[in-house]
């Protein structure tokens, strides 16, 4: 009967002893009346005290920085750092700027090329072509050895700016045309604001149809 009672207190005895909870109530009364349980209690509290001393002693340890550093070096060898790659997030501002620049470039190109093409494609600018009265193909002879149309100015021709150079032996035509001041301006003339109406002019046109030089043949307005 007594053994049964002791057994019923065994778990409580152990738990109280390890958690250092003082006996009370029925358990305390049992301890005072049961010598074996009292001895077990004392032994267990002694174990608790001993383990506590060991715990305190073991935690009083300075971790080795040297050992840690060695491990970190080993880690660095095991996992060598990958080359640093700077990943740029796609920038909206950057994309927007590029888009704007591209659009501006397109507009500039269109603004420059389309008028030129409209002037020169079909061999003559519309303003000139509409006014052509005479077309006289003439061989580009030795008088213009240079392919530079500016050489034509010897005969009062004014070179058309940015026109492609004439090749030696290239067939040219001199086109008679009535040009308004605006068309003359596109061909490199600096029209006098006093000019009104169309002026008769001779336009040197290359084999490719592009005008190379212009000469005013109508002097009535000078």
Partner 1 sequence: MRRTDEELYRLMKSGDRAAFAELYERREPALYRYALHTSGSATVAEEVASEVFVQLMSSGSRFDEQRGTLESYLYGVARNLVRMARRQGPVEEAVDSAFEHDIVGDLIDSEMTAALHRALQTMPERYRDVVIFCDLEELSYEEVARLLGRPIGTVRSRLHRGRALLSGIMKRMNVSAMAAQG
Say whether residue 43 binds partner 1 (CB under 8 A). Answer: yes
DSSP the chain: -HHHHHHHHHHHHHHHHHHTPPP-HHHHHHHHH-HHHHHHHHHHHHHHHHHHHHHHHHH-----HHHHHHHHHHHHHHSPPPPP---PPPPHHHHHHHHHHHHHHHHHHHHHHHHHHHHHTTSS-HHHHTT--EEEEEE--GGG-SS-GGGGGGGT-EEPTTPPPPPTT-EEEEEEEEE-HHHHHHTT----TT--S-EEEEEEE-TTS-EEEEEE---TT-
Please identify, using beta-carbon distances, which residue of 56 and 162 lies nearer to partner 1: 56
Q: If we measure between CA atoms, which residue out of 75, 183, 59 comes closest to residue 119?
A: 183
Please identify, using beta-carbon distances, which residue of 15 and 218 lies nearer to partner 1: 15
Considering only the stretches 27-35, 40-48, 157-165, 211-219, report the one whose residues sit in contact with partner 1 under the rule CB under 8 A.
Answer: 40-48
Q: Which of 6, 14, 34, 132 binds partner 1 (CB under 8 A)?
A: 14
The CB-of-91 to partner 1 minimum distance in angstroms stands at 28
Stretch 55-84 residues interacting with partner 1 (CB under 8 A): 55-61, 63-64, 67-68, 70-72, 74-76, 78-79, 81-82
The CB-of-71 to partner 1 minimum distance in angstroms stands at 6
The CB-of-8 to partner 1 minimum distance in angstroms stands at 14
The CB-of-50 to partner 1 minimum distance in angstroms stands at 4
Please identify, using beta-carbon distances, which residue of 17 and 177 lies nearer to partner 1: 17
Q: Which of 2, 5, 8, 10 binds partner 1 (CB under 8 A)?
A: 10
The CB-of-87 to partner 1 minimum distance in angstroms stands at 16
Please identify, using beta-carbon distances, which residue of 21 and 135 lies nearer to partner 1: 21
Name the pairing type of β-strands 211-216 and 171-179: unpaired
Residues 6+ apart with CB under 8 A from 14: 44
Contact residues toward partner 1 (CB under 8 A) are 10-11, 14, 17-18, 40, 43-44, 46-48, 50-51, 53-61, 63-64, 67-68, 70-72, 74-76, 78-79, 81-82
């Amino acid at each position: 009967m007594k053994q049964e009672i002791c057994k019923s207190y065994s778990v409580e005895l152990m738990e109280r002893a390890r958690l250092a909870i003082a006996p009370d109530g029925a358990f305390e009364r049992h301890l005072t009346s049961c010598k074996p349980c009292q001895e077990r209690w004392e032994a267990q509290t002694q174990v608790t005290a001993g383990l506590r001393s060991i715990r305190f002693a073991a935690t009083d340890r300075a971790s080795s920085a040297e050992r840690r550093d060695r491990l970190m070096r080993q880690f660095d060898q095991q996992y060598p750092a990958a080359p640093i790659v700077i990943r740029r997030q796609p920038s909206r501002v950057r994309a927007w700027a590029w888009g704007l620049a591209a659009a501006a470039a397109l507009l500039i190109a269109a603004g420059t090329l389309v008028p030129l093409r409209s002037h020169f494609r079909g061999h003559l600018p519309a303003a000139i072509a509409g006014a052509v009265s005479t077309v006289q193909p003439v061989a580009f002879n030795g008088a213009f050895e240079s392919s530079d149309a500016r050489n034509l100015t010897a005969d009062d021709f004014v070179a058309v700016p940015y026109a492609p150079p004439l090749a030696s032996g290239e067939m040219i035509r001199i086109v008679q045309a009535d040009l308004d001041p605006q068309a003359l301006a596109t061909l490199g003339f600096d029209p006098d604001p006093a000019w009104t109406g169309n002026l008769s002019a001779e336009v040197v046109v290359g084999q490719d149809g592009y005008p190379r030089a212009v000469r005013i043949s109508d002097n009535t307005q000078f």
